[in-house]
A and B are shown apart, each in its own frame.
Chain A
Amino acid sequence: MKVSINVNPRKNPYLPVEAEGILPANFVSGSPEIMVWEGNKERHLSDLATITVEGEVSEAADITLALSGETALFKRVGEYMEEGTITVEGDIGMHCGNFMSGGLIEILGNAGGWLGREMKGGSILCHGDAGVYCGSGYRGEKHGMRGGKIEILGNAGDFCAEALSGGEVIVRGSCGDMAGVEMQDGKLIIYGDCSRACGNMTGGVATIFGSVSGMLPTFRNEGEVVVDGHTLIQFTGDVANRGKGTLRVAAYTCL
């Protein structure tokens, strides 16, 4: 079954919309009444978007939600998603795929901050850039993403994969500051550059095929390794935290 949700232009295009109801599981029964919050007003999703349902199914896994139109400020889409597929034609707002444990979210544009926050399983593929805290934890949370896979074809913002505790985060472009900070487990792969990677890391493997600026002084140089045909310098750390993580970088500069 395919559900098309085309968000119409709104009177105030800057108002964020909290739309955690946009989940494949909510459409198993056909065309449900989904409520969203536009600022401090609760509204029917159907008042903001044109919804078209094609076909019938009994399982959420067979549902594809296709979002299009003015979706850039729609937050929490796919929160707690367990199965099914969400495709976003344009940009998506913050907290897309929060806590998701299964299914696929594909974003053709850019994603806001906290993409795949505390994700446990499933996949997110973002063709554009991701905002800050991609695959991270909530404020004060000890663990970020624990499982699944996030792939960003563009760049990611600051604090990408903060407190990563499992799963895989792949950034084809560059990351901002402090990628992989507090990382405990899992894999972080950055094909571009970033700054001050993996501060306070205790475990996991971060591989950076580009250059790290402001390289932290608390990583022990273990020599060169070859990864996918690239010669990288391997470090262990963060020794400030008695950490045993692995950080591989192609090049680095210190402050």
Chain B
Amino acid sequence: MSEIVKDALCPFCGCLCDDIVLEVEDNHIISVNNACTLGEHKFLESGGERALKGPMRREGSGWKPISYEEAIEETAEILLAADRPLLYGWSGTYTEAQGAGIMLAEDLGAIVDSTTSVCHGPSILAIQEVGHPGCTLGQVKNRADVVIYWGSNPQEGHPRHLSRYTTYCDGYFLDNAAHDRTVIVVDVRKSATATLADHFIQIKPGGDYAVLSAMRAILAGREDVIPSKVAGVTREELIKIVNICKNARFGSLFFGVGLTMSQGKYKNVRNAIEFVDDLNRSTKFTLTPMRGHYNVYGFNEVCTWMTGYPYAVDLSRGIAFYNPGETTAVDVLARKECDACLVIASDPGAHFPSASVGHLAEIPTVLIDPVPNLTTPLCRLQIPVAVTGVDVGGTAYRMDGVPLSMKKVIDRGYPTDEELINAIRKRVEEVKGI
């Protein structure tokens, strides 16, 4: 006899879709409705047979199953023996577990960093310089008549973004969104999203900063200074786009890692924010980063409450120090600074540069993740846990900063991230006498 769970939240991307319908039978999810392909696979894969049965330790060329108690003890030992431990990941778990993780980092004198540092970290650096003219996705849905996707391809990365909030979604002030909304895509190649756009601006790779500067100058009435072509885009085309933005009733600029991770990084985002800021002199315009993991925003919130900084926090001296480039996971690993690593709710093996991944394999690394991933071959120990949004509920933050409560759908008996981290922390505190 199957049971239908309505309004479940999808633990995949920053859209954090909250209208998922799941069919559950014998403690298994057997069908997923309303989710995109990515979300459907997340529910069926991590909530399915691929999940590890229990913790495992590398022994020689193979793996040996061990108990949770042994795994907790060994993890605590590894972290306590280190002079510069790194606790990395956190974006694929709920905020309560992230909070426990920061307390563990404080006890250990560790560096704590999330996947923010390899996706929208530059956005945060830019926001710290010039602020964030943001809004909720509900505002975009109901009001935005001009939408820009810059260096972002939601059709493939956030597949329901267009249907839930922009192009295909009617809003309170837009009866016929597909017709009434003007969608502009700026990218270095004609992406899947670009094929749906009203205007597509193809810029040369690395040309984001120059194009944004030129658009700001046009907005300031200084098109006389702009050369006939900027990074492959004609001046006339830029003037046309600036006029569309200026004449918008409500505009929204969404940007992805195409902007944050191309040459210039956070200065590109700063220029985008200042472009939006300049537009606000004549209309209403907002800017939202297209966050990747479903709760990467949550980590930034939790980390800021607890340490004063949003990510890449070095707690080794008992005080919080933040300096991306110096205290970010990729850099700390590439410089071989850290001598032990706890990876949780992320997969650096799949995403980090080879120098960082190489060091991860050299030092004792513990991975907390329900399923084997590309970090598994690099680690000494893997501990499976409950999947957030499947086996455990908790709070997650959508890409626009709205906290939502995730549902527990089934119970396969795994410990939660929060329970596991607290158990490790308890052991660390016992040994350190704190």
A positions within 8 Å CB-CB of B: 12, 14-16, 18, 37-42, 94, 113-114, 132-133, 138-140, 142, 177-178, 181, 196, 199-200, 214, 216-220, 237-242, 254-255
One of A132, A181, A255 near B204 (C-beta < 8 A): A255
Counting chain A CB atoms within 10 Å of each CB, which of B110, B216, B270 scores highest? Answer: B216
Q: How far is the CB of B128 from chain A (nearest CB, A)?
A: 3
Nearest 3 pairs of A and B residues by beta carbon: A40-B109, A39-B83, A140-B128
**In the assembled complex, B317 has its CB within 8 A of some CB on chain A:** yes
Counting chain B CB atoms within 10 Å of each CB, which of A38, A132, A214, A218 scores highest? Answer: A218
Q: How far is the CB of B276 from chain A (nearest CB, A)?
A: 13
Given contacts A14-B335, A241-B216, contact A37 B316 (CB under 8 A): yes
262-280 of chain B: CB within 8 A of chain A: 263-264, 267, 270-271, 274
Residues on A with beta carbons closer than 8 Å to the beta carbon of B326: 94, 113-114
B positions within 8 Å CB-CB of A: 82-85, 108-110, 125, 128-129, 204, 206-207, 209-210, 212-214, 216-217, 220, 222, 225-227, 230-232, 263-264, 267, 270-271, 274, 316-317, 322-326, 335-337, 339
Selected A-B contacts with CB under 8 Å, 23 pairs: A15-B84, A37-B316, A39-B82, A39-B339, A40-B108, A40-B109, A40-B316, A177-B264, A196-B209, A196-B264, A199-B213, A200-B213, A200-B267, A216-B213, A217-B210, A217-B213, A217-B217, A217-B226, A217-B227, A218-B222, A238-B213, A239-B222, A240-B220
Residues on A with beta carbons closer than 8 Å to the beta carbon of B324: 139
In the bound assembly, the distance between CA atoms of A238 and B216 in angstroms comes to 10
Residues on B with beta carbons closer than 8 Å to the beta carbon of A214: 206, 210
Q: How far is the CB of B415 from chain A (nearest CB, A)?
A: 27
In the bound assembly, the distance between CA atoms of A37 and B322 in angstroms comes to 16
Given contacts A140-B125, A254-B227, contact A217 B206 (CB under 8 A): no
In the bound assembly, the distance between CA atoms of A254 and B229 in angstroms comes to 9
Q: How far is the CB of A110 from chain B (nearest CB, A)?
A: 14
User: Are B206 and A240 in contact, CB atoms less than 8 angstroms apart?
Assistant: no
Counting chain B CB atoms within 10 Å of each CB, which of A41, A140, A177, A240 scores highest? Answer: A240
In the bound assembly, the distance between CA atoms of A132 and B206 in angstroms comes to 19
Counting chain B CB atoms within 10 Å of each CB, which of A237, A254, A255 scores highest? Answer: A255
Given contacts A39-B83, A39-B316, A178-B267, contact A240 B227 (CB under 8 A): no
One of A42, A94, A199, A242 near B267 (C-beta < 8 A): A199
In the bound assembly, the distance between CA atoms of A196 and B268 in angstroms comes to 12
User: Are A200 and B214 in contact, CB atoms less than 8 angstroms apart?
Assistant: no
User: Are B216 and A240 in contact, CB atoms less than 8 angstroms apart?
Assistant: yes
User: Are A218 and B322 in contact, CB atoms less than 8 angstroms apart?
Assistant: no
User: Are B317 and A16 in contact, CB atoms less than 8 angstroms apart?
Assistant: no
Counting chain A CB atoms within 10 Å of each CB, which of B214, B263, B267, B274 scores highest? Answer: B267
- Chain A: which residue is nearest B84 at the CB level? A39
Given contacts A132-B325, A239-B217, A241-B274, contact A216 B335 (CB under 8 A): no
Q: How far is the CB of B312 from chain A (nearest CB, A)?
A: 10
One of B204, B213, B323, B337 near A240 (C-beta < 8 A): B213
Q: How far is the CB of B273 from chain A (nearest CB, A)?
A: 12
Known: A114-B326, A139-B128. 8 other contacts (CB 8 A): A41-B83, A113-B325, A139-B322, A140-B128, A140-B129, A218-B213, A240-B214, A255-B231
- Chain B: which residue is nearest A221 at the CB level? B225
Residues on B with beta carbons closer than 8 Å to the beta carbon of A177: 263-264
